[in-house]
Amino acid sequence: MPRPKRAPFALLTAIILIVTTILLACDSEPRKSDAELGLTPQQAQGRRVYDARCAECHYAYSTHDLRAPSLHGLFKKPFMKNGIPANDDRVTDIILLGRAKMPAFQQKLTQQQLDDLMVYLHTL
């Protein structure tokens, strides 16, 4: 008995991989340079802190949520998605002390890193 041809299966698999890649790429946020964003040196430092500590769970320039709420427009609304006021004191508390699934960064950030991060978050 002759073996069935695998070409249709291979083609279907390739199409599924291409479509999946395209759909995943649509959700990623484009990476702009600090200069393109018009960031000051302190804001750029804050962006590096963000990239190292926050970007794994929070999008910065997309309104879509990642593992945690997007931080796009964080200080442009009176309240965060969790209902807490969107102000420096409350955001600092959440960063330092953590909340729900978010870890605390009190022992992981210097005061300068926290200051730089806060300045950057105001640019989102």
Mean pLDDT of 63-88: 90
User: Is the pTM value of this prediction over 0.85?
Assistant: no
Any domain includes 15: no
Structural domain of 78: 41-121
Any domain includes 87: yes
pLDDT tens, 9-36?
555 555 665 544 444 445 555 688 899 9
Closest alpha carbon to 70 in 85, 52, 50, 90? 50
Any domain includes 21: no
User: Quick check: 74 pLDDT over 90?
Assistant: yes
Regarding predicted confidence, which is higher, 58 or 89? Answer: 89
Across the chain, what does the average pLDDT equal? 83
